[in-house]
Amino acid sequence: MKNLWSDREARSFVRRYAKERVNRDRALRVYTSRLLGGEPALVLHGGGNTSVKTTMKDVMGQNIEVLCVKGSGWDMAAIEPEGLPAVRLGPLREMVKLKRLSDEDMVNAQRVNLLDSTAPNPSVETLLHAFLPHKFIDHTHANAVLSLTDQKDGEALCRRLFGKKMGYVPYIIPGLDLSRKTLQVYEADPSVQGLILLKHGIFTFGDTAKQAYSRMIGMVTLAELRLKKGRKKVFTAAKLPQKTTAVADIAPVLRGLTRYGGKRLIFDFRGGAKVLNFVNGKDIRRYACQGTATPDHVIRTKQKPLITPAPETGGLNAFRKGTARALDRYVKDYQAYFKRNNRRQKIKRTELDPMPRVIMVPGLGLFGLGADAKAARITADLAETNIEVITAAECLGAYKVISEADTFDIEYWSLEQAKLGKGSEKPLARHVSVVTGGCSGIGAATARALAAEGSEVAVLDQDEKAALAVAAEFGGLGLACDVTDSRAVRRAFDQVVKKYGGVDIVVSNAGAAWPGTIGEVPDKVLRDSFELNFFAHQSVAQNAVRVMVAQGTGGCLLFNTSKQAVNPSKDFGPYGLPKAATMALMRQYALDYGHLGIKSNAVNADRIRSGLLTDDMVKARARARGLSQSDYMSGNLLGREVTAEDVAKVFVDLARSTKTTAAIVTVDGGNIAAALR
């Protein structure tokens, strides 16, 4: 592993932070924490932690000895000084005398000694950092070190490799006991440069930021070189079908099956040679189900993945049945694991949902699952890291991690349990929405409104750059799609499914207006309008129900039909006719798919400033009626101008409603001629 320390960079950190009255120690702590955090083979997504012992002034202007240690919720790759909260060092060190300390009391004692009462909770490994005497301490969950220690004879392997340069600490869950044991190991030989925490990770320390960091890189490099030696080939491939089904066909089936208590999950797919080599192995059930490479991954990934049968092209039904059976076993095993381990707890734990968070599909790859796209991505990242660690471990010997009881203690940690039930989810959380014409006024407003309600949102538009820009506002997916090309629509839906695992809500919004007197209009104009204003809705809806039926979790179709469907304008037939057909289409979907829980509704909007009604058109129409522009726009029963946001709100309301289908809701401020009768 490359040592990225640069004197010049270090000086620039010191200079930059001096302006914010951050001292040299803390500035350098930020610098090397970022170096560590930026390397995924060392830490991932908030894993690992660092500290520095320094002095800071309290409110009385007195110099106080403090430990600045990584705060929970901060990622080292992007850490700032406020992500390293300062805790009074004296009181922390006093705690070494305690015989026992609950996690809750530990967190409280750390919080009451913060210099800034608004700072985040200091890391759960704070006491360990405080008890050791060194100025700079770095802690990572380096893949290479884990591949060595996560072995049957991991300790002996590490001792042979690192010798007396490192101390060796047996596995203990983070807290007072681990901190005291670590100090004991260090004191037995204070010449060590760091400590290997067996089945957990590595600490290095030093008088300077550079020394602690360089020792980390040095030790990890040693481990990497060791892993390269005498590597045996691993994972004999199992017999798999010649051709497997596409991710886009498999994911909705899995997403439907993993629903629990009415809640669905968002998926994140990973393929690639390393993943396939792992999931295609004959012995996958042995090496993939041992547990996670470092204990805290279990909170996101669970101890074991679900392993499905290999899907065969055309055999989707067999895949569904086989997976349902495997999942049933998985759930029963998980519940038994909970029962078994909860029995020995003094304070009984609350059982978490038994659904897997990692699904491995031989022949295809893996899925990370989470309550939202970000959680799913993190889970998939951790799963890939575990594959990396396990593969290297198996090349050397046999992968072996902490016991089931120790795993349970992390998964059901009292501090994690305390978070349960807190923080309410948004109404459309765990849902995936697709909006076509996603960059028009109404489309973009609807995409934003769905995202604000917690949904993952894919923005489809002819203009790829515009789609990406709208999606970037809320971290969604932007895709180029000409909805009149049915193959392009299929491709776009496949991409959405590959990204999120399925589809729940579809707003078929793309459209355009063609004027023309019906007796004279060229055939081509009418047909072009039918392509976009009718057939495109049909191909979008067809793809949507295909995915929804595979999921078996119902769904929601929404069409933008415009008032033309009900109240045609003179010389506007080419626009009104297909819109009227689309209104009938909406009802047909409601009728044909209602028994599967798929709702189908339409919004009938009028006089909205958007791509269809440009400012120039507003001007011309207002002039023709002898009205001012604003009088023209608010020329409705309520006398209020209707905006794209008003339309978006109704789309969201319909998406949230559970008992409305085959309905047309007007959003026009009241136009009695467009009222349904």
| Residues in touch with Zn ion (CB under 5 A) | 201
**How far apart are CB 411 and Zn ion at their closest, in Å?**
15
Closer by beta carbon to Zn ion, 201 or else 568: 201
In the chain, count H helices and then E strands.
26, 18
Q: Which is nearer to Zn ion, 202 or 654 (CB)?
A: 202
User: Measured from the CB of residue 125, what is the shortest distance to Zn ion in angstroms?
Assistant: 6
Residue tagged 């203690």 (tokens): 409
Shortest Å, Cβ 128 to Zn ion? 9
Nearer to Zn ion, 10 or 196 (CB): 196
- Letter string b/e over residues 545-577, b meaning 16 or more CB atoms within 10 A of that residue's CB: bbbbbbbbbbbbbbbbbbbbbbbbeeebbbbbb
Q: Residue 461: name the closest of 422, 494, 424, 488 by CA.
A: 488
Q: At its nearest, how many Å lie between Zn ion and the CB of residue 141?
A: 6
Among 550, 560, 556, CA closest to 432: 556
Q: Does residue 127 contact residue 179 with C-beta atoms inside 8 Å?
A: yes
Shortest-Cβ-distance residue relative to Zn ion: 201
Cβ 415 to Zn ion shortest distance, Å: 14
Strand order in the sheet with 664-667: 477-480, 456-461, 432-436, 505-508, 555-560, 598-605, 664-667
CB of 172 to Zn ion, least distance (A): 12
Smallest gap from Cβ 395 to Zn ion, in A, equals: 24
> Taking the complex as a whole, how short is the minimal distance between the CB of residue 174 and Zn ion, in angstroms?
7
Question: Which residue in this structure is represented by tokens 């058109």?
Answer: 617
Between 201 and 311, name the residue whose CB sits nearer to Zn ion: 201
CA distances from 461 to 297, 465, 492, 512, 652 (A): 38, 9, 10, 13, 20
By C-alpha distance, which of 210, 212, 208, 173 is closest to 195?
A: 212
Burial of 377 (0-12, 13-18, 19+ CB in 10 A): middle
Strands 598-605 and 456-461 come out as unpaired
β-pair partners for 604: 666
Considering beta carbons, is residue 196 or 432 the nearer one to Zn ion? 196
Nearer to Zn ion, 79 or 457 (CB): 79
What residue type is 370 in one-letter code? G
Q: Choose between 140 and 564: whose C-beta lies nearer to Zn ion.
A: 140
Shortest Å distance, C-beta 258 to Zn ion: 29
Residue 560 Cβ vs Zn ion, minimum distance, rounded to whole Å: 51
Q: Which is nearer to Zn ion, 47 or 502 (CB)?
A: 47
- Between β-strands 49-57 and 136-140, what pairing exists: parallel, antiparallel or unpaired? antiparallel
> What are 585's two structure tokens?
């289409």
DSSP result, 469-508? HHHHHTT-EEEE--TT-HHHHHHHHHHHHHHHS---EEEE
Query: Distance between CA atoms of 114 and 596, rounded to whole angstroms?
Result: 55
Which residues, other chains included, contact 258 with Cβ-Cβ below 8 Å and sequence gap of 6+? Answer: 264, 265, 327, 355, 356, 359, 369
CB of 483 to Zn ion, least distance (A): 49
Give 469's contacts (C-beta < 8 A, 6+ positions apart). 439, 478
DSSP E strand boundaries for 527-609: 555-560, 598-605
Choose between 201 and 206: whose C-beta lies nearer to Zn ion: 201
Shortest Å, Cβ 346 to Zn ion? 25
| Closer by beta carbon to Zn ion, 43 or else 644 | 43
Residue placing its CB nearer to Zn ion in the complex, 72 or 629: 72
Q: How far is the CB of 93 from Zn ion (least distance, A)?
A: 21
What one-letter code names the amino acid at 660? T
Smallest separation, CB 302 to Zn ion (Å): 19
User: Which residue type does 227 have?
Assistant: L
- Bridge-based pairing of strands 201-206 and 136-140 is antiparallel
Instruction: Give, for 237, the enclosing helix (H) or strand (E).
Output: none
Q: Toward Zn ion, which CB reaches closer, 212 or 470?
A: 212
Considering all CA atoms of the chain, what is the largest pairwise distance in Å, rounded to the nearest integer? 98
Helices 24-37 and 209-228: crossing angle, nearest 10°?
A: 20
Tell me whether residue 201 or residue 511 sits nearer to Zn ion (CB atom): 201
Please identify which residue in the block is written with the tokens 């355009």. 512
Supply the minimum distance, in Å, between the C-beta of residue 139 and Zn ion.
6
Dihedral pair phi/psi, residue 457, rounded to 5°: -130, 130
Closest approach of Zn ion to the CB of residue 155, in Å: 17
Beta carbon nearer to Zn ion, 147 or 455: 147
Measure the CA–CA gap between 600 and 278, rounded to whole angstroms. Answer: 42
Please, where are the H alpha helices in 189-306?
209-228, 247-257, 273-279, 284-287, 298-301
Asked if residue 439 lies in contact with residue 451, where contact means CB atoms within 8 angstroms, the answer is no
Of residues 201 and 252, the one with the C-beta less far from Zn ion: 201
Half-sphere exposure of 526 (CA within 13 A, CB side): 12
Q: Which is nearer to Zn ion, 201 or 478 (CB)?
A: 201
